[in-house]
Amino acid sequence: MEIFSLIKQNDPENQFNVLKNSYSQIEYAQNNQVNLSAIDTNKIKNIILCGLGGSAIGGDLLQNFLRDELSYPFQVIRNYYLPAYADENTLLIASSYSGNTEETISCVNAGLKRNCQIITITTGGKLEELSQKYNLPIAKLLPGFQPRYALWINFFTLLKTLQSLKLIPVQNEITKQVIELLKKRGDEFSTFPNSSLEFAEKLVGFIPVIYSVSDLTSAVGSRLKAQINENSKLHAFCNFFPEQNHNEIIGWETFSEKQFNSVVINILDVDYHPQIKKRFEIVTELIRRSGVEVLSIESNLPDYKLRLMDNIYFSDWVSYYLAVIRNQNPTEIKNINYLKEHL
């Protein structure tokens, strides 16, 4: 069956157009005005972002994106609890697309008791109610998306918020470049044939194991893993170099495709430390000796931040196409909905 028929059959909610028009989310975030006058930046000594799933990955991406520019300790919390150090010197950013993520609501309530300075990023729900009740600054997101498809509005709202508070350098120029990049890539990946569809086809019948690098491309690996889980309805696993070289590498010594039919995806970048590049070469050789195919995702753009966004966007399209060619709806999340109903 040709790809057009598969898309029509398996994507009734038209996430295809959502992906293609991802750049418009960034434009909205750039033009969205948020009143941050209640925040005293002189008190801030650390930043915590609390969120889950698609509302948390923006925090991971921020840590990679601003790896040389973020001068405040920054932690992403994916749980019901705040760390012991959270206090009046903490900027607590509560990110929940729906506004009803119970773990995030729990963190906000804890933050209020500890006098944290709190900003909320949401479309509404209980988080908006808390924001109004306690006069917390709120960055309203556009409704109507699945949270994982709203990464761009989430991330660039977070970026603009920190920029407006002058906690990070101005990011306006690179933001414009990312908008143009996504417009260009959106046109490429929505016409056929294209590289993201061809990559997805190589994953059919396998369980992806994804390797990226801590602090540089870790968000790309985590994002791809989660997108394959939710969009493609498929198990995927992710680990990070160089940590992988100290434990998981040994697992390949007894690999058997009868137990685990896998393909490995390396997330590569020219900025990696020379020893990291060498590690990838050696580990790739070892894995191929086990009879496992190793694929690579690597952007050739000149700027690190653009390469990061390029790889994220490419990966999102890969997970989308992997869904539709496996006859899966890239929107449905039946098990998550079942879990929420029974909690």
Q: Is 128 a catalytic residue?
A: no
What does the alpha-carbon distance between residue 232 and residue 323 come to, in Å, rounded to a whole number?
4
Q: Is 246 a catalytic residue?
A: yes
Q: Which of 20, 160, 225, 230 is an active site residue?
A: 230
Q: Which of 176, 184, 235, 340 is an active site residue?
A: 340
Q: Which of 246, 258, 334, 342 is an active site residue?
A: 246
Q: What 3-state DSSP class applies to 331?
A: coil
Phi, psi of 236 (to 5 degrees): -150, 155
User: 262 is written with which tokens?
Assistant: 């896998």
Answer whether 105's CB lies under 8 Å from 51's CB.
no
What does the alpha-carbon distance between residue 252 and residue 283 come to, in Å, rounded to a whole number?
10
What does the alpha-carbon distance between residue 146 and residue 47 come to, in Å, rounded to a whole number?
26
Q: What 3-state DSSP class applies to 264?
A: strand
What does the alpha-carbon distance between residue 77 and residue 56 come to, in Å, rounded to a whole number?
8
Nearest to 118 by CA among 126, 130, 129: 130
Q: Is 230 a catalytic residue?
A: yes
Residues catalogued as catalytic: 230, 246, 340
